[in-house]
């Protein structure tokens, strides 16, 4: 079924090829127009040459276009998949991590939560707001899929800037749990209906259902999970912090120690500082490895010895953007276990304009969140603290208010001091001024 899909940030070595891998495996989208858009002209041209070659190998499955002009790219778009960053991602991430800790913050990672996550949001929200304003102006009926972090804050800014835009956020973090569940429960993953609820990188597994029988599998999960994960303890994933929160709160946090700990003042108590530094290093090395692979293939192409079957001939990325698009255009409903959407009555005891991560059903009629009701009070209390920070964080960016920005930093459990917030803000503003809003 033909449609126009625009990839914003297509020159990213990690985002572009993985998304295109999924597109090239789709028979449903055969004949569609794929527009590659990025502001980095040199890298965009490299990706375009590679994908044009791949398309020929796949018998011209798609119409491939590329442009650095965003407004031109968006004309007539049906779906937009966006994943952008600003500046040198890893240099800035290390500043997000190191500067708050320099002044006494207990934050453990600084990507999506804590004062580092707030600074990250301050940088990334403005360009994404510019993008969705263009979408709203040029193709208001298009469906927008965001992959940029900090996911919940970015999606909240999208909602407040363009409230009528159809938009979701996607994160693959649920994949860590998906890997283990079949082994734990002796069931195929496709036979299980997962019911995770919460915030992105801060969610809890509230239910598991056997699809064929309707049986509640949570009692079995809760029984086997402690010993199962203890035997497979992994410092970046399910380790001491996950085990402690599971024990204290009664529900399994499916996001891994490195992400969960970003939002908790006691995260530092159950994680090792070096592990978090190693995670940033590991993530950077992973990105460099993918980039080198892309460039090796480009070199082969220029030397006339490109892979006969191409680099996108088989496999899937594990991301859910393409399956959701397929479900929406074929009207074959798809249950997706973890998608970021506005609350809007799904969780009753959290703010209703909050962006939550929850199961949805995707179909031709759109995206519909699966209602849960009230979360346990202890979990809701945790999430409401982060909800308040996200509210102020987005408000600070959209109003360019220095006062609100510092308030957002100060009330974070990993700061808790106006003096510390002032110091963090001042140094980060000096280091990252070219990427930050002009706070007044």
322 in Cβ contact with 19 (< 8 Å): yes
CA dist 407 → 157, 350, 353, 357, 401 (Å):
18, 21, 20, 25, 10
Q: How far is CA 275 from CA 100, 147, 167, 328, 414, in A?
A: 17, 25, 34, 40, 18
Terminal-residue alpha carbon distance, the chain: 49
SS3 255: coil
Mutual angle of helices 402-410 and 114-138, in 10-degree steps:
130
Q: List C-alpha distances in Å: 261 to 59, 102, 151, 239.
A: 47, 18, 16, 11
Which residues are bridge partners to 362 per DSSP?
Answer: 334, 367
Give the C-alpha separation, 10 to 6, whole Å.
Answer: 9
Catalytic residue among 37, 58, 172, 368: 172
**Rounded CA gap, 47 and 7, in Å?**
12
- Find, among 7, 303, 334, the residue nearest to 190 by Cα: 334
The SS3 assignment for 205 reads strand
Indicate the length of the chain as a whole number: 440
CA distance 312 to 3: 20
Nearest Cα residue to 246 out of 272, 220, 225, 228:
225
Q: Give the separation between CA 129 and CA 155, rounded to whole angstroms.
A: 10
What is the Cα–Cα distance from 227 to 290, expressed in whole angstroms?
Answer: 35
Enclosing H/E stretch for 8: strand 4-8
172 has catalytic annotation? yes
Q: Where are the beta strands (DSSP E) in 140-249?
A: 143-146, 166-169, 192-199, 202-210
Task: Give φ, ψ of 165 to 5 degrees.
Answer: -75, 135
Using DSSP, state whether 338 is helix, strand or coil: strand
**Catalytic positions:** 172
């Amino acid at each position: 079924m033909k449609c126009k899909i625009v990839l914003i940030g297509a020159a990213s070595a990690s985002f572009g090829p993985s998304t295109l891998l999924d597109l090239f495996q789709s028979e449903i989208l055969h004949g569609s127009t794929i527009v590659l858009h990025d502001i980095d002209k040199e890298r965009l041209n490299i990706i375009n040459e590679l994908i044009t070659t791949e398309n020929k190998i796949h018998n011209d499955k798609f119409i491939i276009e590329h442009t650095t002009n965003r407004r031109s790219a968006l004309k007539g778009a049906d779906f937009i998949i966006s994943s952008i960053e600003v500046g040198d991602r890893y240099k800035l991430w290390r500043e997000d991590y190191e500067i708050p800790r320099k002044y006494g913050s207990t934050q453990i990672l600084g990507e999506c939560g804590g004062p580092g996550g707030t600074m990250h949001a301050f940088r990334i929200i403005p360009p994404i707001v510019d993008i969705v304003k263009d979408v709203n102006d040029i193709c208001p009926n298009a469906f927008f899929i965001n992959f940029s972090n900090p996911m919940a804050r970015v999606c909240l800014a999208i909602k407040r800037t363009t409230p009528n835009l159809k938009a979701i956020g996607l994160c693959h973090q649920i994949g860590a749990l998906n890997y283990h569940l079949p082994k734990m429960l002796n069931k195929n993953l496709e036979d299980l209906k997962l019911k995770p609820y919460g915030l992105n990188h801060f969610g809890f597994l509230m239910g598991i259902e056997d699809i064929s029988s309707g049986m509640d599998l949570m009692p079995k999960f809760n029984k086997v999970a402690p010993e199962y994960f203890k035997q497979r303890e992994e410092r970046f994933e399910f380790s001491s912090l996950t085990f402690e929160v599971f024990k204290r709160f009664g529900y399994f946090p499916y996001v891994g120690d490195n992400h969960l700990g970003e939002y908790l003042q006691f995260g530092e108590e159950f994680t090792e500082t070096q592990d978090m530094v190693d995670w940033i290093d590991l993530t950077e090395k992973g990105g460099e490895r993918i980039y080198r692979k892309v460039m090796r293939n480009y070199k082969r192409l220029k030397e006339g010895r490109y892979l006969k079957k191409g680099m996108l001939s088989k496999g899937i990325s594990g991301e859910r953007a393409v399956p959701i698009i397929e479900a929406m255009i074929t009207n074959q409903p798809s249950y997706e276990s973890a998608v970021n959407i506005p609350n809007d009555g799904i969780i009753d005891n959290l703010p209703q304009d909050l962006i939550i991560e929850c199961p949805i059903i995707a179909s031709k009629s759109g995206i519909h969140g699966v209602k849960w009701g009230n979360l346990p009070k202890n979990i809701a209390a945790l999430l409401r603290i982060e909800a308040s920070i996200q509210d102020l964080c987005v408000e600070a960016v959209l109003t360019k208010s220095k006062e609100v920005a510092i308030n957002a930093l100060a009330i974070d459990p990993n700061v808790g001091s106006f003096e510390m917030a002032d110091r963090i803000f001042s140094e980060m503003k000096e280091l990252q001024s070219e990427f930050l809003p002009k706070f007044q």
